[in-house]
């Protein structure tokens, strides 16, 4: 699975069932390394989710990791706490919200 298809699947699930993103207004930025290196953003606002490649919005939280670890994180196959402690995941912004993001992801598995 690719980064792009992972974002497409995630935003599609969020938009089909927006219960878990109700009241959430947030821009997440993912700085990814690896074969699909780049900057990706996920914007959640007004019970809608969308993603963009490159930077279009001001992020409130930036996560740095490899593309492979992002795909694992999005599919709940990577423990974010262990990834952070081992240096596989770097967080710029509210660390507490980074953990809430993982909870949100689990709801869309």
Of 27, 76, 74, 75, the closest CA to residue 48 belongs to 27
Q: Could you tell me the two tokens for 75?
A: 């599919």
Beta carbons of 11 and 49 less than 8 angstroms apart: yes
**Rg of the chain over CA atoms, in angstroms?**
13
pLDDT for 70 equals 96
pLDDT band at 81 (very low <50, low <70, confident <90, very high): confident
Measured CA to CA, the distance from residue 55 to residue 97 in angstroms comes to 20
The CATH homologous superfamily to which domain 3-106 belongs is SCP2 sterol-binding domain (3.30.1050.10)
pLDDT band at 102 (very low <50, low <70, confident <90, very high): confident
Domain positions in the chain: 3-106
pLDDT tens column, 31-68: 999 999 999 999 999 999 999 999 999 999 999 999 99
**Is the pTM higher than 0.75?**
yes
Q: Could you tell me the two tokens for 11?
A: 């935003």
């Amino acid at each position: 699975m690719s980064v792009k298809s992972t974002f497409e699947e995630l935003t599609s699930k969020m938009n089909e069932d927006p219960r878990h993103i109700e009241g959430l207004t947030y821009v997440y930025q993912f700085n990814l390394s690896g074969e699909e290196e780049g900057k990706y953003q996920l914007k959640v606002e007004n019970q809608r989710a969308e993603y963009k490649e490159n930077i279009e919005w001001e992020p409130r939280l930036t996560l740095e990791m490899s593309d492979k670890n992002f795909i694992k994180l999005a599919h709940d196959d990577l423990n974010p706490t262990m990834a952070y402690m081992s240096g596989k995941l770097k967080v710029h912004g509210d660390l507490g919200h980074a953990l809430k993001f993982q909870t949100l992801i689990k709801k869309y598995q």
